[in-house]
Amino acid sequence: MLRRIKPLGWLVILAIMGLFLTGISHLASGQTQTIANLPDRQTDIQLKDKLPSKYPDISLGFEMKINDDYQIRIQRPSTKSTAMNDILRDWIDSQKDSFIDKFADTSDDNKKEAPSLKISVKTEQIASDSYSFIFTREESDQHTETKVFNIDVKQERELELDDILKMDHATMKTLRKQMKDSLQDSPVSDEALDRFFNDSSAWNWTINKKAFTLYIDGDNDSSALKAPIPNEKLYLNFTDGISEIINMSAEQKQEMNDTIEAEKERIRKEEEQRKEQEKRKAEERAKQQKNSPAHNSDGKYVALTFDDGPSAEVTPRVLETLAQHDAKATFFMIGNQVEAYPEIAQQVAAAGHEIGNHTVDHADLSKLDPESIRNEIGQSADSIEQATGIRPYFVRPPYGAYNDAVINDVANQGDTLIQWSVDSLDWQSKNANAVISEIQKEIASGAIVLMHDIHPSTADALPQLLDWLESQGYQFVTVSQLLEMGGQNGVGPYYGNVK
């Protein structure tokens, strides 16, 4: 076989072997291996030999340096836009230079093994002339980082979030919910989400015809988590120009328009409902204040209030005692209790007492997000109105706990926040004599007294308590009557007078 090789063939074989040995020598000597065989620190890659790319407008170069000090492997994408290439190159160079500087003065004796830097890139198409470049930066013994550049090659600019989404409160709320749903298999803590949503300028994201994807660092040292959100979930949050940015199909455009029109109709109906509720609240205010006692600077007035009902056992006893004294009170009802005992709630309304809102299930409103606050107050008001025909406009937060979010919700609904100035502590003592003693000790004209129509001991205390209050010259009024006499109106909170 060897005899058949002609002299020219031997020359070709020797040349190939020489080139092979030269390549091995370069690797062993630690010289930088780039497509243009550039010197160390120079990163303007000449793409003479391109790595495979499925996008004809995109080229991909590879840079490698391996020596005793460190190892570097970098993929470098290139587009038809010089300006965009500069943006990509500058970021890559900054990562490379930072890595080299970190280990420039490190003694070999302190290294167990040469540190390494790997920057790889995945390219995804947004539309015909725009792409997402998703870089993964891996440094030995460090957290893997993701960096995304969304580039419109034709217009030679980076796409911004404002090009894609209306960056308002509604969008943030939607993104947070959809992100949590998307990451169910890899849950992220609320603390991590809070950090993420605190600075949208640092977000890494991609967009295409199917989904908007966010990248978020998890709670451990793993790589960034992907949270794809289907575009149909964001139709209400997209900018007007989104259909051109991602080249939506005619079907997608129609679906998005239908969703937007449906939302407009929902808002219209909600506004009509809000106006109707405001009308009913105004009528209820007028009704409650119609028989308000004439203001008398020498008069003594007290507003008795009862929380947490209605109760099948205690509320009827309270109503009976109040009727015997021709006293009107204010009942702050829990929505779940109203649904359980609607007929008792009706008895309270029929007796002419004032009804307030104490949330659906006695939740601490100060620990809830705005949506949950609205649900607690709104759903309870719905239950009360359905049972009694009265839409409550007074809100008493459970435990007296509130914050700015609660105040904002109450203000937006045209409601009023009511607290108390005298706590009977009936919830604590559950003793009739102790209840009477506590109120006697703290009572003052203009006080709002807190009791609960769920404790039998409170019903036991009420006859003697009302006798004593009357003997001291007190008249019983509702909270709305008390506020009117004091010229108080608005959101509040209102506490009543103290001794």
pLDDT at position 95, please? 94
pLDDT at position 6, please? 57
For residue 7, is pLDDT > 90? no
Mean pLDDT to the nearest integer, 475-479? 95
Question: Which of 152, 217, 307, 308 is labelled catalytic?
Answer: 307
Least confident of 136-145, 220-229, 328-337: 220-229
The Cα 31–Cα 95 span in angstroms is: 20
Are both 309 and 238 inside the same structural domain?
Answer: no
pTM above 0.85, yes or no: no
Look at 33 and 389; give whichever has higher pLDDT: 389
What tokens appear for 310 in the block? 């209605």
Are both 232 and 330 inside the same structural domain?
Answer: no
Catalytic residue flag (residue 307)? yes
For residue 240, is pLDDT > 70? yes
For residue 35, is pLDDT > 50? no
Task: Work out how many domains the chain is built from and give that number.
Answer: 2
**Over the stretch 193-205, which tens digit does the pLDDT of each residue have?**
888 898 999 999 9
**30 in a structural domain:** no
CB contact set of 297 (below 8 Å; sequence gap of 6+): none
**Over the stretch 381-417, which tens digit does the pLDDT of each residue have?**
999 999 999 999 999 999 999 999 999 999 988 899 9
**40 in a structural domain:** no
Are both 195 and 337 inside the same structural domain?
Answer: no
pLDDT at position 26, please? 41
Are both 111 and 230 inside the same structural domain?
Answer: yes
**174 in a structural domain:** yes
Mean pLDDT to the nearest integer, 152-168? 94
What tokens appear for 424 in the block? 């009977």
Are both 315 and 394 inside the same structural domain?
Answer: yes
Mean pLDDT to the nearest integer, 216-238? 83
pLDDT at position 47, please? 41
For residue 313, is pLDDT > 60? yes
Least confident of 18-22, 97-101, 128-132, 448-452: 18-22
pLDDT at position 22, please? 46
pLDDT at position 24, please? 39
pLDDT at position 57, please? 82
**334 in a structural domain:** yes
Final residue before a domain boundary, out of 195, 228, 248: 248
pLDDT at position 40, please? 43
**Over the stretch 67-87, which tens digit does the pLDDT of each residue have?**
888 899 999 999 999 999 999
For residue 34, is pLDDT > 50? no
For residue 293, is pLDDT > 70? no
Rg (CA), the chain: 36
Are both 88 and 199 inside the same structural domain?
Answer: yes
Tell me if 384 sits within 8 A of 391, measured CB to CB: yes
**28 in a structural domain:** no
Mean pLDDT to the nearest integer, 260-278? 82
Tell me if 130 sits within 8 A of 118, measured CB to CB: no
For residue 133, is pLDDT > 90? yes
What tokens appear for 348 in the block? 């309270």
pLDDT at position 159, please? 96
Tell me if 58 sits within 8 A of 78, measured CB to CB: yes
Q: Which residue has tokens 């009477």?
A: 436
Question: Which of 353, 358, 362, 452 is labelled catalytic?
Answer: 452
**321 in a structural domain:** yes
**373 in a structural domain:** yes
What tokens appear for 322 in the block? 């109040």
Q: Give CA angle at 37 (32, 39), nearest 5°.
A: 55
Final residue before a domain boundary, out of 248, 272, 294: 248
pLDDT at position 367, please? 94
Q: Which residues pair with 136 in a beta bridge?
A: 120, 146
pLDDT at position 243, please? 92
For residue 362, the 8-state DSSP code is: -
pLDDT at position 141, please? 74
Are both 222 and 331 inside the same structural domain?
Answer: no
The Cα 63–Cα 85 span in angstroms is: 16
Look at 130 and 141; give whichever has higher pLDDT: 130
pLDDT at position 103, please? 75
Neighbours of 108 (CB within 10 A): 8
Position 481 confidence tier, pLDDT thresholds 50, 70, 90: very high
The Cα 450–Cα 468 span in angstroms is: 17
For residue 29, is pLDDT > 50? no
Catalytic residue flag (residue 219)? no
The Cα 65–Cα 63 span in angstroms is: 7
**266 in a structural domain:** no
> According to DSSP H, which parts of 389-455 are helical?
404-413, 426-429, 432-442
Mean pLDDT to the nearest integer, 464-486? 93
Can you give the CATH number for the domain in which 478 is found? 3.20.20.370
For residue 101, is pLDDT > 90? no
For residue 274, is pLDDT > 90? no
Tell me if 63 sits within 8 A of 37, measured CB to CB: no
Residues above pLDDT 70, as percent of the chain: 83
Mean pLDDT to the nearest integer, 115-126? 93
Structural domain of 239: 59-248
Are both 242 and 301 inside the same structural domain?
Answer: no
Chain mean pLDDT for the chain: 85
Are both 170 and 314 inside the same structural domain?
Answer: no
Position 485 confidence tier, pLDDT thresholds 50, 70, 90: confident
Are both 417 and 300 inside the same structural domain?
Answer: yes
Least confident of 46-55, 257-266, 353-362: 46-55
Final residue before a domain boundary, out of 229, 248, 267: 248
pLDDT at position 474, please? 95
Can you give the CATH number for the domain in which 234 is found? 3.30.565.40
pLDDT at position 187, please? 76
**Over the stretch 437-449, which tens digit does the pLDDT of each residue have?**
999 999 999 999 9
Least confident of 52-56, 133-137, 316-320: 52-56
Look at 267 and 11; give whichever has higher pLDDT: 267
Position 219 confidence tier, pLDDT thresholds 50, 70, 90: low
Are both 241 and 296 inside the same structural domain?
Answer: no
Position 487 confidence tier, pLDDT thresholds 50, 70, 90: confident
Are both 201 and 312 inside the same structural domain?
Answer: no
**Over the stretch 418-467, which tens digit does the pLDDT of each residue have?**
999 999 999 999 999 999 999 999 999 999 999 999 999 999 999 999 99
